[in-house]
Structure formats: structure tokens, C-alpha cells
Amino acid sequence: MASFQTLPGFREFYPDALARRNHLFRLWRQTAHTFGFAEYDAPVLEPLELYKTKSGDEIEAQLFSFTDKGGREVALRPEMTPTVCRLVGERANALKRPIKWFSIAEFYRYERMQKGRGRCFFQFNADIFGEPGIEAETELIALLAQNLCAFGLNESDFYIRLSDRNLWFYFLEALGFDEARSRSLLSAVDRFEKLGDEAFRPDAEQFGALDEARKTQVLAFLHIKSLASLETLVSSLGGDKLRSRLDDWKRLLRNLEAMGLSRFVEVDLGVVRGLAYYTGFVFEAFDRKGELRALAGGGRYDNLVGKLGYAELPAVGFAIGDMTFALLLEQRGLMPNLIQAPDVYVVIGGPEERLAAFADIHALRAAGYRVDYPMRELAFGKQFKAAAESGARLALIYGTDERAKGVVKLRDLTERSEREVPTTHLLAEVRGFFDGSS
Ligand code: HAM
């Protein structure tokens, strides 16, 4: 065996795997178009600086970065968000608002490998710029849900956990924490699901121990899973900021209900998202059985465009990853069998017949039919076997007899019936066969 192997965590796509990947991309793209999103693309290699402090410590530690031959510090993109902010920031004045954009692209993170996690993966990203209100969240959560439903998944397969970093900050402020302490506590909350109580250990948490009474309050908030309990808590704490934020929640949930999406969305303040730039509503999609890592994640990030040096521009977005998504589809039996069968298989006699067949093969392909034939001369028996195995519905037979009569034999490989047609009518006959009119 040769010793050149794929790098750990990198993926090769043999044709069957690529057909499955294309299936995801096709439906994601189609769905994004139905929501009026426009597609963009950008470089895979970016200045390292773009991710420093902007994406957060976790992603920064996972960068594939190096110095290029010109002495530039560069990194393979670990995510699209800083890049799309640059694209939009550069042309902010020229772009019609709201800016609704999507992309499908590959990303690189030096992560510990596990099921559904690799070092390179694809994401579908969708973002809206220029819309400060919950209308943007409505649109994006709807797109996220539809991007999963388009494959036949439903509310028993996945759900979207909805949370809010603003609400967390207002809540922690009401408990008397300053912003730096609140940030540190939110990273502890982010780790709580994985680590449990450990996440709040004084040495794990930058700003020292949390007293028991506060910890109980923080844990109670983290466990809120309904609008009703959120309302109860907000009314017990009071405060204008919290109350007006609760109104945003109600409007957002009402919008989603009107779209018929309540069955997918669950209030869950245990989600805060690890990326550094989120500022408001945040959400993550998971499989219902809880067997897989996150399917998708996103939220509002109103400061990032400004932080990159452009005029401030409100933004919300999310990304779906291809790896957990494909695993879920396979688990649910929703990954179709994507055999790339030809429409027509051509069976050819001798060298003279081959030349006659070539003219028709090319004309049929130019007309859009998938046509295959044996590259080498083979006995008829072997060719018929190949035709049957190819999955084609129609075989065209070019034998010596047929050539002498100026005909081609059409064999319906499903019905096992045959008939001869004049060579001059071949294209019309093949069309008729596939349109069902002959
Ligand atoms: P994220 O939560 O880091 O968010 O990634 C989104 C999704 O990408 C995850 O839920 C997961 O499905 C997939 N993903 C992430 N890392 C890996 C990995 N190592 N292997 C396989 N799949 C992975 C973001 O990237 C944000 N930039 C999303 C966003 C867009 N926010 C606003 N706009």
C-alpha cells in the first residue's frame, strides 16, 4: 500500500459520497432561493488577523495558520462570519437592504476528531444585514427549519433551542454583576452542558467563586425552558430592560407560531453560544434523540461589522454543518439512493456500427440525455449485461442487420420489449420514450 494518506480529519469524496454531498447542497440552495437569499463566495485563505479576538478563543486555538511566502500571517477560514462581514462592510452603502445572503463552503478547524466532527467540513451559511428587529430572526429561524424540513425531517427529528445573550446580560446585571464578570459567567454557562458543576469551579471561572445563593439563581435561569417561566422570573426581578426584552421574545415567538414553526422551537436559556461576537438572540438546532452534536448554530451579532472597521451594521445569521446533518439523514433513512444511472445504454456491433452509433450518441447527449456505451468492442452478451447493470431504461442496438436496414433497435430494459425505428427518427423516438408518448 502506498504511504500517502489523507491528513487526519480531512475528507475525500468518492463519487457516491459526492452525490450525497451534492444532494444536501442542491436542496439547501433551492430553499435559500425560495426565501430570497442571494448566493456569494469568498476566499478560503484569509489574513490571520480576521479571526484574532473576533471569533473567540476556542476557534482561534483551532486555526490552521501559517506564514505565506510573502511573510503574511494567514489562516484557512474556520467560519464564514468575519469574511461575510468584510464583504458587506466594504459595499454597505451600495447594497440594497435588507441584505439577505447565503453561501455553501468548506471550513477548517484543528479539532479533536469525533463522530460528526472533522477538521474540514462544509457549512451552509445564511445571514441578514441591516435589520435590527426580530423580523431578521424570524426569517432566519424559518429558513433554518425549512432547510431541514426540505429533506423530509420533521419535529420528531430535530428542534431549535432559542436563547438570548441580551436577556442573560440584563439578568446578570440585575443580580449585580458587571459586564466583564457577566461575560466570564456566560462562558461558564456555555460549558455547563458538557462539564456540569465543574464549569462554575472558581479556577475554571476567571472571576472567582460564585456564592451559593447566586449560583442557585444562575442555575435556575439556565434551566428556563418556557416563555411562562421566563415571564414569572422577569416579573419577580422587574426592570425596564428585562420587560422590554420579554416583549421582543413574545413577538418573535408569535411570528414563528404564525409560520407554523412553534413545533420546532423551544425556549432554552441553557444555550449561550461559544463564539465571541454574538449580541442578542442565539439559537442552535439539535437532533431530538440527543445522539449527535449540534446540527446548526447562529444568532445576532450587531457589533462585528463595526469591529472590523466598517460602519456599524446589525446582523443575524446561522450555519448548518454538513457532517451531523448527513448522519441524521442516514439515521432516519432520508438519504436517497443516488445512483447515477445513464438514461440510454448503446450496444454496438463492429467498428462500422461504432462510427454510426457515435453520431447518434453525441446528438443524444447534446439533447441532454445521459448516454453511455462500452469503450471497447465486446461480445453482444457482455454488452447486454452491462446495459442491464448500468440502470439505464433504454438500450439502443447498432448491429450489422440494423445498419443494413437503416434502423436502430430500441429495447425497453424495464418492459423487455423491442422495436426498430429509422435512424433518421431516432432523437424524436428517444424523446417520446422518455416523455411517455411512445
Ligand atoms: P458554529 O456553531 O461554530 O457556528 O458552527 C455551525 C455548525 O457547523 C455546527 O453546528 C456544526 O454542525 C458545524 N461544525 C462546526 N465545527 C465543525 C467541525 N469541526 N466538524 C464538523 N462540523 C462542524 C459558526 O460557525 C457561525 N459562524 C455561524 C454563524 C453564521 N453565525 C452567524 N452567521
Mean pLDDT (whole number) for 198-218: 75
- Distance, CA 124 to ligand 1 centroid (Å)? 9
Give the closest residue (by CA) to ligand 1 atom 13: 321
What percent of the chain stands above pLDDT 70? Answer: 97
Is 342's pLDDT higher than 90? yes
Mean pLDDT (whole number) for 147-157: 98
User: Greater confidence, 266 or 206?
Assistant: 266
User: Greater confidence, 54 or 348?
Assistant: 348
Is 94's pLDDT higher than 70? yes
Give the closest residue (by CA) to ligand 1 atom 18: 117
- Distance, CA 324 to ligand 1 centroid (Å)? 11
- Distance, CA 109 to ligand 1 centroid (Å)? 10
**359 Cβ neighbours under 8 A, 6+ residues apart:** none
Which residue ranges have their beta carbon within 6 Å of ligand 1? 79-81, 109, 111, 117-118, 121, 123, 125, 127, 275, 294-298, 317-319, 321, 323-324
- Distance, CA 242 to ligand 1 centroid (Å)? 29
Backbone angles phi and psi of 198, in degrees to 5: -45, -35
Q: What does the domain layout of the chain look like in residue ranges?
A: 15-331, 344-435
* Atom in ligand 1 nearest the alpha carbon of residue 125: 30
- Distance, CA 94 to ligand 1 centroid (Å)? 29
Class of 344-435 per CATH?
alpha beta
State residue 29's pLDDT score: 98
Mean pLDDT (whole number) for 315-341: 95
Is 236's pLDDT higher than 60? yes
pLDDT digits (tens, 9 = 90+) for 351-368: 999 999 999 999 999 999
Mean pLDDT (whole number) for 399-426: 96
Mean pLDDT (whole number) for 36-42: 98
Task: Give the residue, out of 11, 59, 123, with the most ligand 1 atoms within 8 A of its beta carbon, to mutate for a pocket test.
Answer: 123
* Atom in ligand 1 nearest the alpha carbon of residue 78: 25
Give the closest residue (by CA) to ligand 1 atom 17: 117
**Domain 15-331: CATH superfamily, name plus number:** Bira Bifunctional Protein; Domain 2 (3.30.930.10)
Give the closest residue (by CA) to ligand 1 atom 25: 79
pTM, to two decimals: 0.93
- Distance, CA 3 to ligand 1 centroid (Å)? 32
State residue 187's pLDDT score: 87
Task: Give the residue, out of 50, 54, 79, 281, with the most ligand 1 atoms within 8 A of its beta carbon, to mutate for a pocket test.
Answer: 79
Is 167's pLDDT higher than 60? yes
State residue 1's pLDDT score: 64
* Atom in ligand 1 nearest the alpha carbon of residue 273: 2
Mean pLDDT (whole number) for 228-238: 90
pLDDT digits (tens, 9 = 90+) for 218-229: 999 999 999 999
Is 183's pLDDT higher than 80? yes
Mean pLDDT (whole number) for 229-238: 90
- Three-class HEC string of the chain: CCCCCCCCCCCCCCHHHHHHHHHHHHHHHHHHHHCCCEECCCCCEEEHHHCCCCCCHHHHHCCCEEECCCCCEEEECCCCHHHHHHHHHHCCCCCCCCEEEEEEEEEECCCCCECCECCEEEEEEEEEECCCCHHHHHHHHHHHHHHHHCCCCCCCCEEEEEEEHHHHHHHHHHCCCCHHHHHHHHHHHHHHHHHHHHHHCCCCCCCCCCCHHHHHHHHHHHCCCCHHHHHHHHHHHCCHHHHHHHHHHHHHHHHHHHCCCCCCEEECCCCCCCCCCCCCEEEEEEECCCCCCCCEEEEECCCHHHHCCCCCCCEEEEEEEHHHHHHHHHHCCCCCCCCCCCCEEEEECCHHHHHHHHHHHHHHHHCCCCEECCCCCCCHHHHHHHHHHHCCCEEEEECHHHHHHCEEEEEECCCCEEEEEEHHHHHHHHHHHHHCCC
pLDDT band of 274, cuts 50, 70, 90:
confident
Reading the block at residue 437, the C-alpha cell is 408518448
State residue 208's pLDDT score: 61
State residue 211's pLDDT score: 82
pLDDT band of 207, cuts 50, 70, 90:
low
pLDDT digits (tens, 9 = 90+) for 12-22: 999 999 999 99
* Atom in ligand 1 nearest the alpha carbon of residue 116: 21
Q: What does the mean pLDDT of the chain come to?
A: 94
- Distance, CA 271 to ligand 1 centroid (Å)? 14
* Atom in ligand 1 nearest the alpha carbon of residue 117: 20
Q: Is 353 left (phi over 0), alpha (psi -120 to 50) or beta?
A: alpha
Is 273's pLDDT higher than 80? yes
Give the closest residue (by CA) to ligand 1 atom 4: 297
User: Greater confidence, 2 or 103?
Assistant: 103
- Distance, CA 299 to ligand 1 centroid (Å)? 12
Give the closest residue (by CA) to ligand 1 atom 11: 321
